[in-house]
Amino acid sequence: MFIIIGYIIVTASILGGYAMVGGHMGALYQPSELIIIAGAGIGSLFVGNNAKALKKTFSSLPTLFRGSHYTKQHYLSLMSLLFNIMSKSRQQGLLSIEKDIEDPTESELFSQYPKLTRDPLLLHFLTDYLRLMIGGNMSALEIESLMDEEIETCEDESDVPAQSIAAVGDALPAFGIVAAVMGVVHALASADRPPAELGELIAQAMVGTFLGILLSYGFVSPLATVMRQKSAERIKMLQCIKVTLLANMHGYAPQVAVEFGRKVLYTTERPAFAELEDFVRSNKPGTRAAETNEE
């Protein structure tokens, strides 16, 4: 929604200012220039990326126009799930959660949080490290090092679409200059025309520079920023899980461990201490409260 609003503001501001000085809108309509710039930009996207990067980039574009689901409620549900898992393992032993992590969809612990179980990245990250904890052959330091490596890998993968879009955005002004130069060449080749017609051809050529800069800084490059913001939200979720599980491995009680996880969250989504405590208490295994709150 904010992207659409931003596009409207950018377009209205530029065209409105142009109209205020008496500019003719028809002069800005140059399909040939747009084809040159947009086509070259898309072509450079294909040249600079392999098939995996292209697939990831195109699949990421629709998500930019959706709201983030990494809200305060989402993190409350995540920390409530972590609390319930740690409480069960503390009371009944680590082996008691083995069945829960082997089939989360049938687990009483996980089934209360359908939105969390529909997130493959979250589910795989959490269950994989719970398995390692159950194995008992790795120290907290070793697991932390492995978590850091996986999170770094996830960061690198998540940044691929943003890098691809940013590269296209950076190239568009240059492609605008290419379109403008080609227009000037066409104008100079028509030097025998009357001055009025020649001036019109040069004006049309200059539109290429205008379009390249506008498309770059007003439309394409901002998308790369949004992609990085969404990537940071996913990484923050993994960091929350990491800090919470490591605190539990170091012997802290579940109530304290989830507080570690709460502290790493962004302040815009971070619940208050009392808010988290009340939510965790009201979402014990076997209740319907968690699912209701998630929805």
Q: Does the residue 280 lie in any domain? A: yes
Amino acid at site 234 = R
Contact 86, 260 (CB under 8 A): no
Mean pLDDT of 32-54: 94
Distance CA 242, CA 234 (A): 13
pTM of the model as a whole? 0.84
The whole-number pLDDT of residue 267 equals 92
- Which residues, in sequence order, are CB contacts of 88 under 8 Å at separation 6+? 96, 97, 100, 109, 285
Q: Does the residue 1 lie in any domain? A: no
Q: Does the residue 90 lie in any domain? A: yes
Phi, psi of 183 (to 5 degrees): -70, -40
Nearest to 207 by CA among 176, 182, 171, 169: 176
Q: Does the residue 163 lie in any domain? A: yes
Tally of structural domains, the chain? 1
Distance CA 82, CA 283 (A): 11
Higher-pLDDT residue of 151, 195:
151
Q: Does the residue 14 lie in any domain? A: no
- Over residues 8-39, the pLDDT tens digits come to 999 999 999 989 988 888 888 899 999 999 99
Q: Does the residue 159 lie in any domain? A: yes
Q: Does the residue 179 lie in any domain? A: yes
Cα distance between the two ends of the chain:
21
Question: Is residue 293 pLDDT above 70, yes or no?
Answer: no
Nearest to 281 by CA among 44, 141, 17, 79: 79
Mean pLDDT computed over every residue of the chain:
90
- Domain range enclosing 57: 30-295
Q: Does the residue 57 lie in any domain? A: yes
Structure tokens at 219: 């439309």
- Which residues, in sequence order, are CB contacts of 290 under 8 Å at separation 6+? 77, 80, 81, 112, 113, 283
DSSP string across 59-122 = HHTGGGGS--S--HHHHHHHHHHHHHHHHHHHHH-GGGGHHHHH-GGG-HHHHT-HHHHT-HHH
- Over residues 114-137, the pLDDT tens digits come to 889 889 999 999 999 999 998 878
Question: Is residue 256 pLDDT above 60, yes or no?
Answer: yes
Distance CA 117, CA 105 (A): 7
